[in-house]
Structure formats: C-alpha cells, structure tokens
Amino acid sequence: MNCEKFQTVVTDLAREQIIDVSDRTAALEHVEACGSCALNLEDELSLSLDLQALANEVKGISAPVSLEAKMLAAFREQKNAKQVVNIASRRPASNYWVAAIAALMILTFGFFILRGILNNRRPLQDAKLNSKPETAPDAAVKELKTPEAPTTGPAYVQAPAPPKLRPNYVAIKHQPKTSASNAIATVGTAQNKPVSQPAAEVATDFFPIGFNSTPNLQEGGQLLRVELPRAAVARFGLPVNMDRAGERVKADVLVGADGLAQAIRFVQ
Amino acid sequence: MLGGDEDAFAALYHRRQGGIYRFALQMSGSPALSEDVTQEVFMILMRDGLGYDSTRGPLSSFLIGVARNLIRQRLGREQIYVSMEDENGDEPVTERFHASDSPLEELSRGEAIKSIRLAVLSLPARYREVVVLCELQELSYAEAAEVLDCAIGTVRSRLHRARAMLIEKMRPEKKVEAARDSVEQARCFA
C-alpha cells in the first residue's frame, strides 16, 4: 500500500468502520513504515475522539418543553380546520349536474360559432370561383365588400353577415312577465326585427344563468339554439317527466359579448 | 398521525424531536434557530405528511432532510453560525449536561469540546453537514446519502475532506495545549 491508497482508508480506519481485512492489514503495515501517514492516522484518531466527545455532550439535549405544547396545539388546530374543509367540500350531487350542463353548453356554443365562421367563408370562396375574369380587380373587391349591393358582373351568392362583436342582437318576442320575475321582456336589435319562431314551437321564459338576476346585453350578444338532456330542465325549477329524463330538449341560450351564457329558455 | 390521531402525533414528536433539534443545533450553533427549525419540520409534516414516501427511505431521513433544507435557507439569510451560549449569556449550553469532575479535567475537556464545536461550525455548509450527520448524529454513509440526496461515495469523500480541514483547524490548539501542559509540569517540580 502506498500513501495515496492509505488516504482512501484512513478515515474508515480512524472511525473504526468496517473495511476489507486485507486493506486494514496493509494500512497498518504502511503506517509502521511511513512516518507522515503514521502522524496522519494519529491526528485522525484524535479527531475521532474529540468528535465522539462532542456527540456525547449533546446526546441529552432535546427541544424545549414549551415547543411540545405549541406543536400539539397546532396539531389540534390543523385537525379542526381539516374537518371544516371536509364538511364544506361535501357538495350536493346537483352541483355536478350544473357543471355538466355548463360544459355541454360551452361545447355547443363553440360548435355553433365555428359553424357560423365556416359558413361565412364558404360563400365568399364560391363567389371567387364563379367570378368572371373581365371584372376589374377593384370592382371584384368592392363586390365582396358590399354583398348587399351586387354588381351587374358575376353572379353573386349573398353570404350571411360575418359574426361581429356588436351584432346582431336578436330580438325576442315579448314574453309576458311572470311572478317569478325570471322573464326578460325584450332585447332590442339595431334594426328592431323580431325573430320569427316556427309556429309549432312553444318557449318558456328566460331563466338567468349565473349570479346576474338579469342579463346584460348592452355590448351585444347572440341567441343560440342548443339541445340538452331533459333532466336539465329540472335545475331551473320546471317539472320533468322522469320517464323521459334521458331525452333531449331544445333550448335557446343568450350569450353575451364576453361569450358567457346569460340566460336560457326551453323550447318545445 | 395523518388520520388526526393526536396520541400518534405526540408519540412521533417525542421520538423524533431530539434528533432534529440536535442536528439543527450542531449545524447552526443557535438554540433559537434550532427550535424554529424543529417546529417548522413538524408543521410541514402535519400539513404535507403525504409528501413522505416510505419507499425512498425512513421517516427519520425525511425529517432530517427537511430540517437540512430549512437550515440552509436560514443560514443563507443570517449569520453563518451563532455561538452556542445560553440565551442569557451564561454558561454554554453543553456545560449543563456535563458531569462535574476535577476542575482541571473539566476545564480541559470543556476547552477541547468548545474547540471542536467551533471548528465544526466554521466548516463550509456542505462539509459541516456530513460531519454532523456521520460523526455527531452517527448515521451510516448510506443514511447520510439519503438525507443529502447524493451518492455514498460523495459522502465519503466529503467526510474525508472535512476531517482533514478539522485536523488543520485543531492543530494550533493542540500545540498550545501541549505547550501549556509542559509548562505546568515544570511548575509542579519548581
């Protein structure tokens, strides 16, 4: 064994750790031959004794007694707090219905919005395909910009107006107010054009959704037709034939400019 | 304990608080900081006891590991170490637990322990923690490696280096003690 190798075992030797027998023998033989390594081992042994003495000095030391009382009090407080949280987190199952309905409505809105966007694009593309080349580029652009005033040039397929942020309020036929005060009398449109419902449909009053008692459509909104499970009707206090709870029912949802549902009415 | 059993928590506290407190004390030299760290360790255990994974090691290693992280944060903000004297500035903490002996021996032992204590506290943190864990807390290399989240070889090499540093620090004191002893002996024969 050389000095370098001795350094790898001297710590374990001084700390009386388990080391390989051959290494121990070789180390002890080396110490007899090498003065500096012998001094090194002596220093290591002395250090081990000092550290042992230091360890023994603090063995009896523990945290102050007052800390135990603090910890137990904190534990009780934590336990009580957890019990309160557990009680509060037991929500009625009906809340899951509301969450499910909200999720379904969001998906439906997204579907209709996407369909509206795609429908608006398709006629414009058709118009481009059908346009004859002799029309001036400026005129063609002008035609596309003003679809309500088609020129004498190409046959023009009138596209529905693209969705806007301030649209298209959709007028709703005036509903007589009920004692529940859930009805929304009228939402005006820019053109004051009432929506014509199919004659066979019957609709309920609008029920507000969320925390607002009345919808705010001053910045615009849309009326969307959706389909929901019939059981959703019960969430708004209407009677439901449970035999038909699995069937679907149509509903109109008032969506504000912020994209959030403001009110809903059910249509039959 | 996680189920809210207060007796279980009390038993756990009694069993573990001493080791955590002593580790913090040996790392920081401050009884106040050690008490804060001990309290915080058990608060963390209460709040986030499910963070302990028994497959990764024993609870003692987990708790010491948490204490180690807290101490590193605190020492990073405050003084490197504080003298382990009583809060009132009276006798040092360790003196309370020392069995009285002849005055000279008591003084010598006290001086030696004080010297080694100060030497340990003056080590850089990464060397101090291996000395505290392996030498003072008497953990094995494997247990220390779990606490420090490093390889066993790293623990061994750091401990070897730390001990070499301690020997260097202690060497001047030992020379002074040897010189003092020789002077006293001469006095005895005067």
Question: Residue B25: pLDDT above 90?
Answer: yes
Give me the percent of chain B exceeding a pLDDT of 70: 71
Report pLDDT digits (tens) over A242-268. 778 778 889 999 888 888 888 899 988
B156 in contact with A at a CB cutoff of 8 Å? yes
User: Of A228, A234, A229, which is closest to residue A261 (Cα–Cα)?
Assistant: A228
> Rounded to an integer, what distance in angstroms lies between the CA atom of residue A77 and that of residue B2?
14
Q: Which of A75, A76, A77 to mutate to test the interface with B (most CBs of B within 10 A)?
A: A75
Beta bridge partners of A261: A255
Cβ pair B93:A61 closer than 8 A:
yes
Name the minimum distance, in Å, from the CA of B61 to any CA of chain A.
18
A84 in contact with B at a CB cutoff of 8 Å? no
pLDDT at A186: 40
| Structure tokens belonging to residue B183 | 């002077």
Name the minimum distance, in Å, from the CA of B131 to any CA of chain A.
9
What is the average pLDDT across B107-136?
A: 90
**pTM value > 0.80:** no
Name the minimum distance, in Å, from the CA of B110 to any CA of chain A.
10
Q: How many contacts, defined by CB atoms under 8 Å, are there between A and B?
A: 106
> Rounded to an integer, what distance in angstroms lies between the CA atom of residue A132 and that of residue A127?
10
Q: Which of A57, A62, A79 to mutate to test the interface with B (most CBs of B within 10 A)?
A: A57
Cβ pair A67:B135 closer than 8 A:
no
Cβ pair A67:B38 closer than 8 A:
yes
Q: What is the 3-state secondary structure (H, E, C) of A69-99?
A: HHHHHHHHHHHHHHHHHHHHCCCCCHHHHHH
| Structure tokens belonging to residue A5 | 């190798």
Report pLDDT digits (tens) over B68-120. 999 998 887 765 555 454 444 444 444 444 444 566 666 677 888 888 999 99
> Rounded to an integer, what distance in angstroms lies between the CA atom of residue A264 and that of residue A77?
45
pLDDT at B7: 86
More confident residue, B147 or B83: B147
Average pLDDT, chain A: 74
Question: Residue A78: pLDDT above 50?
Answer: yes
More confident residue, A199 or B152: B152
**What 8-state DSSP symbol labels residue B135?**
I
> Rounded to an integer, what distance in angstroms lies between the CA atom of residue A153 and that of residue B49?
78
Instruction: Number of helices (H) and strands (E) in chain A: give both, helices first.
Output: 6, 4
Average pLDDT, chain B: 79
pLDDT at A174: 45
pLDDT at B34: 94
| Structure tokens belonging to residue A61 | 């030391």
ipTM of the prediction greater than 0.95, yes or no: no
Beta bridge partners of A227: A250
- Mention every residue, 6+ apart, whose C-beta is less than 8 A from residue A241: A230
Helix residue ranges per DSSP H, chain A: 3-14, 21-33, 35-58, 65-88, 94-130, 137-145
The residue of chain B with its CA nearest to that of A62 is: B18
Lowest mean pLDDT among A24-38, B26-40, B115-129, B166-180: B166-180
Question: Residue A82: pLDDT above 90?
Answer: no
Contact criterion met (CB below 8 Å) for A172 and A223: yes
Cβ pair B22:A58 closer than 8 A:
yes
The residue written with tokens 């939402």 in the block is: A187
Contacts of B14 in chain A (CB under 8 A): 68
Name the minimum distance, in Å, from the CA of B187 to any CA of chain A.
27
Instruction: Number of helices (H) and strands (E) in chain B: give both, helices first.
Output: 7, 0
> Rounded to an integer, what distance in angstroms lies between the CA atom of residue A63 and that of residue B20?
9
Contacts of B97 in chain A (CB under 8 A): 57-61
A122 in contact with B at a CB cutoff of 8 Å? no
Q: Which of B21, B137, B171 sits opposite A62 (nearest CB)?
A: B21
| Structure tokens belonging to residue A138 | 């400026």
* Beta-sheet pairing, A207-208 with A221-229: unpaired
B170 in contact with A at a CB cutoff of 8 Å? yes
B9 in contact with A at a CB cutoff of 8 Å? yes
Beta bridge partners of B112: none
